[in-house]
Structure 1
């Protein structure tokens, strides 16, 4: 690390030029990169995906996983929707609204009473426009359908349009580009950095992020040329990448300021030494943090789901690029303009008084702190046991506006909430008999088998449930329909509910493998770097409980609705979007480990320093020093990430809001309860066991750790390699020479 830092400082112009070229190339190609992102979430080999592919291939790209648009009218009292005048006028409006290449079903075209309400006053039609996959699947079709019926009145009643694409805010590209959210996140980060550094030095972490984000987009663009990369990656790179890059730069810049205040001096040699010492201490922690984040995200590639695999592939790039920028460009920036920007310059205490006081209180009563902190975390995590994964309920997708009003009318008329996302069943047999068979299943509200839905002998039957598929009753009804349909020869059951079930089975069926991969890889990296067996174990346990607490909070807020209306003006979703829990685990586990690494490396450094000075019982004081010197840093870093997730939650798409809520709550819980209370309490309770490390696990005696004592703060241990830690508390260390 020291050699590399001295090299980049000796080749400052080259380093700056290379990063500027990469960032400029990323900015120039970002539009093409975003255009090449995949909009789908395919599940090759799964029965729902196979059925949807078959339907879309035969019927011009309509239907399948894509839910229909719903056209509705409710005539005044005294009139009926099935009378000839109303029926024909409504059918004409539906035909006019159906985009070229689309398919529709109305009472006039099917004669099916499932499309007429029980009181006879309301009728609904299903319109499937042609389109692709993902949030842009419908193109401008929703807007065109709404425009086609705008102002149309039948028997004096207006014709309305609704459906999942309109209620979810995904019509005609309503989901914003990440630029607005990134600017909001950067503004929040600037405020936090300004308070942290109290000077122009706050600009340097933002500058590193401004280089890291477009460079990551450049690499993602290259990745899109060899594999499909999900559209969600653009949000993750922009906002999570912003937080990671700033956090890493914040860690090194803070340590540089501390080293400069201690011994840097105004002369060029002093400037270099302060940067080198910061890079070889905090820089090693950044390297280890980046490795743990990358490992947690890489575990997504073992899932048999291309959508999440692409998130894993692209997610690897974010910490790797941020680490590279932090370890190469940041030292150059600190050398060139760090001292100029860090004004007014004054000597500062390396320990934060507030966090030192918290650490001392925790270490004096570690059992009480561990019990209280653990109880609070378990209470937060408990609701996670009731988590349901699936699509959010339709009633939670939109609040206010014409689409929400129209859907409320459809639901109130008794058509069944599941009509917003029917099961599409393809058959080469008799569709009417199939429709009657499936209509007999408990929980089914309606079935239709339009004669016009025939392509080369393949017919499609639509089945929908009385309750939303996101509810327990709806999920059970969907399961019965799928089982009954797939038991028949020549029948393929698809649609959104079918593919959602397949997605959940594919993701969570592989969950043990993913968890095992993350745990094993992370443990090995931390064990080798921290030269400890029990510190990595503690870190894994705390991170797991922290993620569980985030799950519990998001279940309370979104699935059960305690706060969703107050915070987001949205009712309970009834379920957590199927891909969110796994994505939250991979990202939050890695990001939380960042803070664990920052704290543990500083505690270990203090422990080695105290041991080198002959202190017999080092653990408690090392914890106080480590927490005191990292508490303010971790708080600032967590607040920056939290503000980035707040910005992400402003995207008008419920799925993204759920993801942002889980990540935001998880970061706050981790930076306060876990790192501020539980981590120091457990390290204190474990005492000398923290530093136990068998000789054979780390190679020959004298192997170096993440920030070995060659980089400790006192010259008594500054020149020799690290000693093995299994006996460091048992005897006073003897300085060794290399």
Structure 2
């Protein structure tokens, strides 16, 4: 790291130019090729995935994008002469739109026209796969339906034509504004306050661009880019803040830059590494969407570490003393340190009391997790008034709740079906008689007769637990000479939930073990590593407790834009665990680095705890406040899953940086005494060759 610091000070222009060229190149590629997203969820080896693959092999084009153009009139009927003619013209315009392969108009015989004739939908089939039906294509198709709207027919998109509202631009700007204010207060000057924002934005530009380009090669859901934005802003600002704080404490020259990269930069690398290691543990889940969320967020974290340890030192070299330019006010020297010093003195004087009280508070906040039950969300859980929610409600009104989560019963036939094969009728009859099935469509048979498929609709909504019961009942359907599977988005998402529940303990164990090993390598102290893992679990528990109380129980859920309780999406707890375990380790590394340095200097454990907390308290709370503001701003997103991530992360980081790192960790370290520093790796407990990484 010291060598990296020297390179950045000797060639600062090269480093800055390299980052700017990379950002411009990525932005140009994204502008030329776009950033496709795909909302389909896959799960290799599951019954639902087997059924989907059978469909894709047997029926040409079944893997292509399909959407519904919902048509609704408030009075009369869609079949009224003037309206019917306008709808026909509109559908002809849609059919002529690029990449539209076929349009099937509303038809009562096909079950796509409501009983009263007010609501119907046209099925729009594309000649490209789902992830290539981007927002521009979907909006173009909806615009082509203008003749129907001119005749008073409301048109709304669903399926591939419903682009999920995950935009959080207002929230992001609000979070950045608050972060900028916090940094102005922390540094006192506009230039110093702006540097962490600049490095974070460069990180985001490169990271989101690369993630978007990867969407051409693999399925990347829209939630992945939003989550990467959330994490990128948080850690990008935080890592730069830690380095900048250390640099200003050491001086304003090139030697200070090198020393900063060698000390604070090392801590940032360990902190970022702990986040990436936590994400790596998600690979054990065997769930592609979790793997995607992990590598996209991990990529942004790696770029944030790179920008903080190369771009920022190069800019600091170029600025020199001008880093303090545009000063707004002067902060009294040592004011933050003295306040944290007084708190540290009180904690180490009566550590047992602080440990007991903080533990009781954390247990209270975590208690609701005992009632946590995961499920699956659908567009019916989106805030009222959003396009996706409107389309969902219209379809449910016209055709029942099951229309929004159709199920496909797929049967592999052996021997292949011939004309008048009784197995086809038997399959449809068995599906129709299954408890919970509201209606079925005519069976489709592949050209070679080897696969038959029956579409079914449940009498309950996709996120209703009764739909899961219906899927299980359909999977028990037996027809002689047929191997039956149940597929569809709802069925596969249910399979995801079951796999996540089975593998959650293994993922937790792996992440805890890997993170503890990383801390062990950093500090060579087994007790510290084990204690850090326990503290991080407490942080995760508070997030789970809050998610249960707000989203499942409905406490204050309307205040965040939803109209009632919603299920906690099945993969959210596992992803939150990895995120929080990694991010919590950041503050643990920074705090323990300072405590260890003080202990090496004095050999007095309690004095070291006091000095470590006094020296890092202000910068850790400033960094946490920035991260909390960034995460909380994403609660404004219309997507309930993003709201869950935003609220869970914001609450957990706030608790972690104040109650856990500010109170519980110092109290437990004071109680443990020299046992904190016991190590089997070398004889001299205060010796060792690990470079200091104290953050002041």
Q: Is the 8 A contact 2:35 2:213 kept in 1?
A: no
Partner of residue 285, structure 1: 267
Q: Secondary structure at the match of 2:455?
A: strand
Partner of residue 599, structure 2: 607
Q: How does 1:579-618 map to 2 (within 5 A)?
A: 579-611=571-603, 618=604
Q: Is residue 624 of structure 2 the alignment partner of residue 626 of structure 1?
A: no
TM-score for both structures, normalised by structure 2: 0.83
How far 1:246 sits from its partner (Å)?
A: 1.4
Partner of residue 420, structure 2: none
Partner of residue 726, structure 1: none
Q: Is residue 314 of structure 2 the alignment partner of residue 322 of structure 1?
A: no
Q: Out of 457, 466, 474, which is 2:467 matched to?
A: 474
Cα distance in 2 between the residues matched to 1:506 and 1:28:
40
The 1:325/1:436 distance shift into structure 2, 3 A limit, reads: same
How far 1:688 sits from its partner (Å)?
A: 1.5
Q: Secondary structure at the match of 2:568?
A: coil
Cα distance in 2 between the residues matched to 1:540 and 1:486:
52
How far 1:485 sits from its partner (Å)?
A: 6.6
The 1:485/1:664 distance shift into structure 2, 3 A limit, reads: farther
Q: Is the 8 A contact 1:381 1:551 kept in 2?
A: yes
Q: Is the 8 A contact 1:39 1:136 kept in 2?
A: no
Q: How does 1:75-90 map to 2 (within 5 A)?
A: none
The 1:20/1:491 distance shift into structure 2, 3 A limit, reads: same
Contiguous gaps of at least 5 residues in structure 1: 265-270, 612-617, 714-738
Partner of residue 671, structure 2: 685
Q: Is residue 245 of structure 2 the alignment partner of residue 248 of structure 1?
A: no
Question: Could you list the per-position Cα deviations for residues 246-281 of structure 1 after superposition, in whole angstroms to 9, with x for gaps in the alignment?
Answer: 111111111222233xxx7xxxxxx34433443333
Cα distance in 2 between the residues matched to 1:161 and 1:432:
35
Cα distance in 2 between the residues matched to 1:91 and 1:686:
81
How far 1:134 sits from its partner (Å)?
A: 5.6
Q: Out of 180, 184, 187, which is 2:177 matched to?
A: 187
Q: Out of 342, 362, 381, which is 2:324 matched to?
A: 342
Q: Is the 8 A contact 1:56 1:63 kept in 2?
A: yes
Cα distance in 1 between the residues matched to 2:194 and 2:347:
35
How far 1:291 sits from its partner (Å)?
A: 1.4
The 1:64/1:276 distance shift into structure 2, 3 A limit, reads: closer
How far 1:404 sits from its partner (Å)?
A: 5.2
Cα distance in 2 between the residues matched to 1:33 and 1:101:
23
How far 1:125 sits from its partner (Å)?
A: 5.6
Q: Secondary structure at the match of 1:447?
A: strand
Q: Is the 8 A contact 2:552 2:565 kept in 1?
A: yes
Partner of residue 422, structure 1: 406
Partner of residue 210, structure 1: 201
The 1:609/1:30 distance shift into structure 2, 3 A limit, reads: farther
Q: Is residue 660 of structure 2 the alignment partner of residue 661 of structure 1?
A: no
The 1:248/1:125 distance shift into structure 2, 3 A limit, reads: closer
The 1:16/1:409 distance shift into structure 2, 3 A limit, reads: closer
Partner of residue 560, structure 1: 553
How far 1:71 sits from its partner (Å)?
A: 5.2
Q: Secondary structure at the match of 2:487?
A: strand
How far 1:214 sits from its partner (Å)?
A: 3.3
Cα distance in 1 between the residues matched to 2:400 and 2:352:
54
Q: Secondary structure at the match of 2:374?
A: coil
Q: Over aligned residues, Cα RMSD in angstroms?
A: 4.1
Cα distance in 2 between the residues matched to 1:455 and 1:419:
27
Q: Is residue 1 of structure 2 the alignment partner of residue 5 of structure 1?
A: no
How many residues get paired? 673
How far 1:693 sits from its partner (Å)?
A: 0.9
Q: Is the 8 A contact 1:285 1:706 kept in 2?
A: no
How far 1:610 sits from its partner (Å)?
A: 2.3
Q: Is the 8 A contact 1:87 1:108 kept in 2?
A: no
Partner of residue 187, structure 2: 197
Q: Out of 347, 350, 357, which is 2:342 matched to?
A: 357
How far 1:230 sits from its partner (Å)?
A: 5.1
How far 1:691 sits from its partner (Å)?
A: 0.9
How far 1:222 sits from its partner (Å)?
A: 7.9
Cα distance in 2 between the residues matched to 1:562 and 1:485:
44
Question: Could you list the per-position Cα deviations for residues 138-162 of structure 1 after superposition, in whole angstroms to 9, with x for gaps in the alignment?
Answer: 8427736975653668xxxx77757
Partner of residue 719, structure 1: none
How far 1:289 sits from its partner (Å)?
A: 0.7
Which of 86-95 and 375-384 deviates more?
86-95
The 1:562/1:66 distance shift into structure 2, 3 A limit, reads: farther
How far 1:109 sits from its partner (Å)?
A: 1.7
The 1:14/1:68 distance shift into structure 2, 3 A limit, reads: closer
Q: How does 1:699-738 map to 2 (within 5 A)?
A: 702-705=687-690, 707=692
Which of 242-251 and 202-211 deviates more?
202-211
Partner of residue 138, structure 2: 140
How far 1:501 sits from its partner (Å)?
A: 1.6
Question: Could you list the per-position Cα deviations for residues 120-174 of structure 1 after superposition, in whole angstroms to 9, with x for gaps in the alignment?
Answer: 7877668464463369578427736975653668xxxx777575778xxx43x75
TM-score for both structures, normalised by structure 1: 0.79
Contiguous gaps of at least 5 residues in structure 2: 418-422
Partner of residue 615, structure 1: none
Question: Could you list the per-position Cα deviations for residues 59-102 of structure 1 after superposition, in whole angstroms to 9, with x for gaps in the alignment?
Answer: 564589978666567878xx9x9xxx889998996997596545
The 1:115/1:203 distance shift into structure 2, 3 A limit, reads: closer
How far 1:601 sits from its partner (Å)?
A: 1.1
Cα distance in 1 between the residues matched to 2:224 and 2:119:
41
Cα distance in 2 between the residues matched to 1:524 and 1:52:
41
Cα distance in 1 between the residues matched to 2:107 and 2:383:
27
Cα distance in 2 between the residues matched to 1:483 and 1:65:
29
Cα distance in 2 between the residues matched to 1:410 and 1:588:
38
Which of 341-350 and 294-303 deviates more?
341-350
How far 1:436 sits from its partner (Å)?
A: 3.3
Partner of residue 298, structure 1: 280
Q: Is the 8 A contact 2:285 2:500 kept in 1?
A: yes
How far 1:399 sits from its partner (Å)?
A: 0.3
Cα distance in 2 between the residues matched to 1:279 and 1:350:
26
How far 1:465 sits from its partner (Å)?
A: 2.4
Q: Is the 8 A contact 2:409 2:474 kept in 1?
A: no
Q: Is the 8 A contact 1:351 1:625 kept in 2?
A: no
Cα distance in 2 between the residues matched to 1:137 and 1:477:
33
